[in-house]
Amino acid sequence: MAGRSKKVVPECHKELDLLKYEIAAEMGLPVGQQMTNSDVEFATELGSIPASSVKEDYWGHISSRDAGAVGGAITSRLMKKAEEILLSL
């Protein structure tokens, strides 16, 4: 399959981003608005984050394991919500 798959509900992108940052905050991961200017300044000085790539949604300094944990938590919460909805029918 070439390229990205089409989302069933394209409007869900914003809500998934909110969920991603909520879970990252719960896990104590310094991403998005939580990453203070001093953290960014220090990381760019060390060269661990190229200054040109610092954005609000930068995740390059997060380990693959932590990023995967966020993805797993998103999937788990979505499955739990779907089960709750199905059980309430």
CA distance 32 to 39: 12
Whether 36 is covered by a domain: the verdict is: yes
How many structural domains are present in the chain?
1
Q: Which domain holds residue 62?
A: 10-87
Whether 2 is covered by a domain: the verdict is: no
pLDDT score recorded for residue 48? 47
pLDDT score recorded for residue 56? 59
pLDDT score recorded for residue 1? 46
Whether 1 is covered by a domain: the verdict is: no
Strands, DSSP E only, in 1-89? none
CA distance 2 to 40: 35
Mean pLDDT, contiguous 10-residue spans, the chain (89 residues): 66 85 88 54 48 60 93 95 92
pLDDT score recorded for residue 87? 93
